[in-house]
DNA sequence: GCTGAGGATATGTATGTACAAGTTTGATGT
DNA sequence: ACATCAAACTTGTACATACATATCCTCAGC
């Protein structure tokens, strides 16, 4: 007996949450609108209040809705958000959000590293790297451009992989690369010529840039990447509590 | 109407969560240790499983613990980076980075809340709010425009404060407002006319936008704000580790 | 037309019960 | 000594119920 099919019947609360997320995303419930009451959802899904409240709680945690004693639950002004702790893979995030991820590879190359990239990957200037340049889609609509750079040691797995077929992250995991830690820096940039063409927006359109470096347990750099999101397709949220500091920090530029 | 003392008996789940947070923080439960089982906590607090699971859910959402079917709940090694106070306050962040913060108030007003803002602050449409619009400086150079909105309950402290003199956050703390939790959403926008004029950049320049909502322990919304940074003056970084869990919150079924 | 009281309704909290689905543990048989 | 299996945990999910507490709406009274 192996792992068996990951078939797993979907839980009720999960199903309710997905229904609401989808309805909100597709505009069936606009920002400011009231969601159906818990009682209505209970009837609609032939469930009980528990699962309904679990779903609501999930959505509240994602910042999608706001609720309170006596008040109807309302939809907040929102775009999809990645929860900071589990942003690892674009594909994975899409699946969690019930979106179909897509990718159109623009370029895959094995080439010598230029100076700044070499420094970022902690290799020598001119050492070979594997670089990938892809347009990423959400439900077949352009959403992000992705520039990935790997030292050859890890990049060789990428060269042997069809980059149009899915998640590189998952492929690396399956190849036994132990991705242990990642560091992300978020800022804003204007779309350059390539970005603008692929994302179908004017040059200079504000994009949300996420630069990521991933490490093994031993501290070797696996990846140095630059993702640029259309800000109306994705944003980042994080929660912090007094006394329980968040892992995010604001860094001063030059 | 007598607003009455904000006395409010503490809820069981809140008390349990506080106990566990404190115990973890003070080292009674070390990273890797197992927490008491739900059954034990139920007995210890003479409660039922619902509140215990709500507390666990809160801690899981804060990334303090990890749990799963069949497995005991274990304490994670919490990565301390920047304290909550440093992240929430521009002034404190500047001081920590050895930068002189500055502010030039553009506008302070008491006005009725428009619809979306009212929803965000969880008050009624048209209820009075206090809004502040400031240009923030780093070493006397424009770096960020700040739009703050408070319900009157908290905003009255702001009205009585010289907004050119420093940190509103610190003032609120000193006035006894208990700022407990904050949620931030980060994305990118182009500079509008006001932004461009104050930051001395062309209209449309990409800015890093941070929308923040701050809450009291009881869940009341203190603030809903919109900060826009020049991306070459500030950015966000974040570290995550593979083992560490998502910040998805889930609440017990009960 | 406006105000205020009160009921209807909404979400938040708490308890009890039952079962599902993993993990750990220990007894048993070889 | 070792592998195997079953019992005894653990946490996850679900349902029924009750009450607390805040909001909204209706309608009587002025």
Q: pLDDT truncated to tens, each residue of chain B (254 aa)?
A: 333 333 446 788 989 998 998 888 778 888 778 899 999 999 999 999 999 999 999 888 776 788 888 889 988 765 444 444 556 678 877 776 668 889 999 999 998 888 888 888 888 888 889 999 999 998 899 999 999 999 988 888 888 888 888 788 888 887 777 777 788 888 899 999 999 999 999 999 999 999 888 887 666 789 999 999 998 888 877 666 554 333 332 222 21
Chain B environment of A235 (Cβ under 8 Å): 185-187
Looking at residue A81, what is its pLDDT?
Answer: 59
Distance of CA B36 to the CA centre of its chain: 29
For B145 and C10, how far is CA from C1' in angstroms? Answer: 39
Nucleotide nearest to B50 (CA to C1'): C14
Q: Contact A253/B236, CB-based, under 8 Å?
A: no
Looking at residue B27, what is its pLDDT?
Answer: 83
Name the pLDDT band for A45 (thresholds 50, 70, 90): very high
Does position A102 have pLDDT exceeding 70, yes or no? yes
CA-based diameter of chain A, in Å? 64
Report the percentage of chain A scoring pLDDT > 70.
83
In the three-class reduction of DSSP (H, G, I as helix; E, B as strand; rest coil), residue A136 is classed as strand
Chain B environment of A169 (Cβ under 8 Å): none
Nucleotide nearest to A34 (CA to C1'): C10
Q: What is the pLDDT of residues A185-227, one digit of tens each?
A: 788 999 999 999 999 999 999 999 988 888 775 557 889 999 9
Looking at residue B80, what is its pLDDT?
Answer: 41
Beta bridge partners of A184: A212, B238
D chain positions with any atom within 7 Å of a protein CB: 9-18, 20-24
Looking at residue B87, what is its pLDDT?
Answer: 63
Looking at residue A215, what is its pLDDT?
Answer: 76
Interface test with B, best of A250, A251, A253 (most B CBs within 10 A): A250
Query: In this structure, what DSSP letter does residue A233 have?
Result: T
Q: Which residues sit close to strand D, CB under 7 Å?
A: A 11-14, 46-51, 54, 68-72; B 8-9, 35, 37-40, 49, 53, 56, 67-73, 124, 250, 252-254
Nucleotide nearest to A48 (CA to C1'): D15
For B2 and D6, how far is CA from C1' in angstroms? Answer: 63
The two beta strands, A65-68 and A71-75, are antiparallel
In the three-class reduction of DSSP (H, G, I as helix; E, B as strand; rest coil), residue B163 is classed as coil
Q: Contact A241/B180, CB-based, under 8 Å?
A: yes
Chain A environment of B88 (Cβ under 8 Å): 240
Output the six-digit token pair for B142. Answer: 């424009």
Among B116, B207, B249, beta carbon nearest to A77: B116
Residue A247, min C-alpha distance to chain B (Å): 6
Task: Report the alpha-carbon distance of residue B106 to residue B146 in Å, rounded.
Answer: 10
> Hey, what long-range contacts does A209-214 have (CB within 8 A, 24 or more apart)?
A209/B188, A210/A184, A210/A185, A210/A186, A210/A236, A211/A184, A211/A185, A211/A186, A212/A182, A212/A183, A212/A184, A212/A185, A213/A120, A213/A182, A213/A183, A214/A179, A214/A181, A214/A182
Task: Report the alpha-carbon distance of residue B214 to residue B181 in Å, rounded.
Answer: 6
- Please name the residues in contact with B4: beta carbons below 8 A apart, sequence gap of 6 or more: none
Number of residues that make up chain A: 254
Nucleotide nearest to A72 (CA to C1'): C10
Mean pLDDT of chain A: 82
Chain A environment of B25 (Cβ under 8 Å): 243-244
Q: Contact B239/A182, CB-based, under 8 Å?
A: yes
Q: Contact B82/A57, CB-based, under 8 Å?
A: no
Residue of B nearest to A86 (CA): B246
Task: Report the alpha-carbon distance of residue A230 to residue A189 in Å, rounded.
Answer: 11
Q: Contact A242/B25, CB-based, under 8 Å?
A: no
Output the six-digit token pair for B44. Answer: 């210890």
Looking at residue B187, what is its pLDDT?
Answer: 87
Does position A253 have pLDDT exceeding 50, yes or no? no
Chain B environment of A61 (Cβ under 8 Å): 61, 247-250
Are A83 and A96 a contacting pair, CB within 8 Å? no
> Is pTM, for the whole model, over 0.85?
no
Chain B environment of A79 (Cβ under 8 Å): 187
Looking at residue A82, what is its pLDDT?
Answer: 58
Looking at residue A4, what is its pLDDT?
Answer: 32
In the three-class reduction of DSSP (H, G, I as helix; E, B as strand; rest coil), residue A18 is classed as helix
Interface test with A, best of B17, B19, B186 (most A CBs within 10 A): B186
Number of residues that make up chain B: 254
Residue with tokens 């010289």: B162
Are A59 and A38 a contacting pair, CB within 8 Å? no
Are B219 and A26 a contacting pair, CB within 8 Å? no
Q: Contact B207/A190, CB-based, under 8 Å?
A: no
Task: Report the alpha-carbon distance of residue A202 to residue A196 in Å, rounded.
Answer: 6
Once rounded to an integer, what is the mean pLDDT over residues A43-51?
93
Task: Report the alpha-carbon distance of residue A25 to residue B254 in Å, rounded.
Answer: 28
Residue B62, min C-alpha distance to chain A (Å): 7
Chain A to chain B Cβ contacts (< 8 Å): 231
Cα angle B184-B186-B190, degrees, rounded to a multiple of 5: 135
Among A190, A241, A253, beta carbon nearest to B235: A253
Are A208 and A231 a contacting pair, CB within 8 Å? yes
Looking at residue B7, what is its pLDDT?
Answer: 40
Looking at residue A66, what is its pLDDT?
Answer: 83
In the three-class reduction of DSSP (H, G, I as helix; E, B as strand; rest coil), residue A26 is classed as coil
For B222 and D28, how far is CA from C1' in angstroms? Answer: 38
Looking at residue B77, what is its pLDDT?
Answer: 62
Beta bridge partners of B133: B107, B147
Which residue spans within chain B are E strands per DSSP? 65-68, 71-75, 101-112, 128-138, 141-151, 181-190, 206-215, 221-229, 234-241
């Amino acid at each position: 007996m192996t792992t068996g099919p990951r078939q797993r019947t979907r839980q009720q609360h999960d199903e309710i949450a997905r229904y609401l997320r989808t309805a909100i995303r597709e505009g069936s419930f606009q920002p400011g609108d009231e969601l159906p009451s818990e009682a209505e959802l209970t009837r609609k899904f032939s469930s009980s209040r528990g699962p309904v409240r679990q779903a609501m709680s999930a959505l509240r945690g994602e910042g999608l809705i706001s609720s309170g004693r006596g008040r109807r639950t309302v939809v907040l002004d929102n775009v999809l958000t990645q929860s900071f702790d589990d942003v690892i893979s674009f594909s994975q995030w899409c699946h969690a959000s019930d979106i179909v991820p897509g990718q159109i590879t623009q370029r895959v190359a094995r080439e010598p590293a230029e100076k700044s990239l070499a420094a970022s990957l902690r290799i020598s200037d001119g050492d070979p790297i594997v670089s990938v340049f892809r347009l990423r889609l959400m439900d077949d609509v352009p959403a992000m451009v992705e520039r990935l750079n790997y030292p050859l040691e890890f990049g060789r797995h990428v060269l042997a992989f069809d980059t149009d077929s899915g998640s590189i992250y998952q492929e690396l995991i399956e190849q036994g690369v132990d991705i242990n830690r990642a560091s992300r820096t978020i800022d804003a940039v204007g779309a350059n010529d390539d970005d603008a063409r692929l994302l179908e927006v004017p040059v200079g359109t504000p994009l949300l840039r996420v630069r990521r470096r991933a490490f093994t347990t031993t501290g070797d750099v696996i990846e140095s990447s630059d993702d640029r999101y259309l800000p109306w397709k994705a944003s980042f949220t994080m929660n912090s509590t007094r006394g329980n500091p968040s892992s995010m920090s604001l860094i001063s530029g030059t």
